[in-house]
């Protein structure tokens, strides 16, 4: 049996050295990465994009069913997604963790293997961070740094009346994956002899445990010579993110429920759980797809593209934010997605 290494045997500086000793710098903008009091970056004629995300055990993830390698990968991806949503290119990240006494060196290595895998896939330099102890569980804080030409940056506040509303990929799958994992956890807690059967559910599980940032959509739009008027990544649910764009841009919107892209496996899982798949797609969150608006003159170009779907259009602010359901039923769009401070009863 392999011996487990306690973190107290290494100490903080020994742990940092162990986790960073094999880092190779990829970008010329990274003058100094790990190994000094601060990283040093050098950019010329670029605007810098910086974003931070915090993941807390028991709030954002459950280690009962979340593999540490997947968690490390996801922690990076959710930050990169925010950079891509600015139409920028991520280049560096810093990684800070707080770990409890229950974690061994081998567990931290597994977490960092996922972090390094994401850095390799998305061509990112890890340039620093911090480690400390925790009495409540694992905490991961990642800051991502990206760059873009000033003319290329896309904000949330640029949507204009008559713009088309587009979304990449499909929605609701990550939420269905989470509900499946939670259901099987409850079954296991009741009877540990009952092992979960995840056959036919691989897609929704991957969408929850190992999402991807849509770097490909950013490249595709550039190749098509289309600059979105506004953009945001879907982390808290389609409805919440679209409301962010509308409020920031001082516009209204009209979207059609039947146009919201939903994978077959997502729909099947929703049926199994007696849920409405469209409602899950609107409010589930953690899809990390891109929601963006483009001028109506690009209609013919975007309508036939299989990488994203036109789900509606931007309206005048006084017309409100509306969802058109089956049979033409009209409902007000409400932000019912993730709320970090919503008290659970």
254: domain range? 156-332
Residue 193 has a pLDDT of 77
Is residue 49 within 8 A of residue 147, CB to CB? The reply is: yes
In a domain, 286, yes or no: yes
Phi, psi of 261 (to 5 degrees): -70, 125
What's residue 308's pLDDT?
94
Q: At what angle do helices 264-272 and 202-209 cross, to 10 degrees?
A: 100
Is there a domain that residue 344 lies in?
no
pLDDT beyond 50 at 341? no
What pLDDT is recorded for position 188? 83
Mean pLDDT score across all residues of the chain: 89
178 and 281 housed in the same domain = yes
Residue 278 tokens, joined: 């469209």
**266-298 tens-digit pLDDT:** 999 999 999 999 999 999 999 999 999 999 999
Q: Which residue has the higher pLDDT, 1 or 190?
A: 190
State the CATH number of the domain containing residue 111.
Answer: 3.30.1330.10
Residue among 42, 218, 25, 212 at smallest CA distance from 123: 25
Q: What's the pLDDT score for residue 22?
A: 67
- What confidence score (pLDDT) does residue 343 get? 47
Return d(Cα 285, Cα 234) in angstroms, integer: 6
pTM above the 0.85 mark?
yes
Asked if residue 201 and residue 77 are part of one domain, the reply reads no
Same domain, 139 and 162: no
Same domain, 54 and 125: yes
pLDDT bucket at 310, cuts 50 / 70 / 90? very high
Model confidence pLDDT, tens digit, residues 178-215:
999 999 999 888 887 777 778 889 999 999 999 999 99
Residues 128 and 276 in one domain: no
**Is residue 95 domain-shared with residue 186, that is, in the same domain?**
no
CATH number of the domain enclosing 195 = 3.90.650.10
Query: Measured between alpha carbons, how far is 127 from 132 in angstroms, rounded to an integer?
Result: 17
Comparing 207 with 27, which gets the higher pLDDT? 207
Percent of the chain with pLDDT over 70: 88
Q: Which of 216, 207, 259 is nearest to 235 (CA)?
A: 207
Query: Which of 110, 126, 150 finishes a domain?
Result: 150
Average pLDDT, integer, range 211-237: 96
Residue 2: what pLDDT? 65
> 321 in helix, strand or coil?
strand
Q: Which three-class secondary structure state does DSSP give residue 31?
A: strand
Our measurement of the distance from residue 248's CA atom to the centroid of its chain's CA atoms, rounded to an integer in Å, reads 21
Domain count, the chain: 2
Tell whether 130 and 182 lie within a shared domain.
no
In terms of domains, do 171 and 215 share one? yes
Return the C-alpha torsion angle 283, 236, 109, 31, nearest 10.
150
Q: Are both 224 and 145 inside the same structural domain?
A: no
Same structural domain for residues 86 and 234? no
Residues 105 and 222 in one domain: no
Cα–Cα distance for residue pair 284/84, rounded to 1 Å? 21
């Amino acid at each position: 049996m392999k011996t487990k290494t306690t973190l107290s045997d290494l100490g903080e500086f020994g742990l940092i050295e162990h986790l960073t000793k094999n880092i190779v710098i990829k970008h010329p903008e990274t003058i100094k990465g790990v190994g000094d009091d601060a990283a040093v970056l050098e950019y010329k004629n670029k605007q810098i994009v910086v974003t931070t995300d915090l993941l807390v055990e028991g709030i954002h993830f459950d280690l009962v069913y979340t593999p540490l390698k997947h968690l490390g990968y996801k922690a990076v991806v959710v930050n990169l997604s925010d950079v891509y949503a600015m139409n920028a290119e991520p280049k560096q990240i810093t990684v800070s963790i707080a770990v409890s006494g229950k974690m061994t060196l081998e567990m931290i290595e597994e977490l960092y293997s996922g972090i390094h895998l994401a850095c390799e896939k998305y061509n990112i330099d890890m340039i620093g961070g911090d480690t400390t102890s925790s009495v409540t569980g694992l905490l991961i804080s990642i800051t991502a740094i990206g760059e873009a030409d000033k003319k290329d940056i896309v904000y949330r506040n640029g949507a204009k009346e008559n713009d088309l509303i587009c979304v990449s990929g499909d929605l609701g799958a990550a939420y269905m994956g989470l509900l499946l994992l939670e259901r099987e956890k409850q079954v296991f807690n009741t009877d540990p002899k009952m092992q979960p059967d995840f056959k036919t559910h691989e897609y929704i599980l991957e969408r929850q445990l190992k999402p991807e940032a849509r770097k490909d959509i950013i490249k595709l739009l550039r190749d098509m010579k289309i600059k979105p008027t506004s953009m945001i990544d879907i982390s808290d649910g389609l409805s919440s993110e679209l409301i962010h764009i509308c409020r920031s841009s001082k516009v209204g919107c009209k979207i059609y429920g039947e146009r919201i892209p939903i994978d077959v496996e997502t729909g099947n899982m929703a049926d199994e759980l007696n849920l409405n798949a469209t409602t899950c797609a609107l409010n589930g969150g953690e899809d990390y797809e891109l929601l963006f608006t483009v001028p109506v003159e690009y209609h013919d170009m975007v309508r036939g593209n299989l990488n994203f779907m036109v789900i509606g259009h931007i309206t005048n602010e006084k017309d409100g934010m509306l969802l058109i359901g089956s049979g033409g039923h009209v409902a007000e769009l409400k932000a019912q997605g993730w709320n970090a401070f919503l008290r659970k009863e």
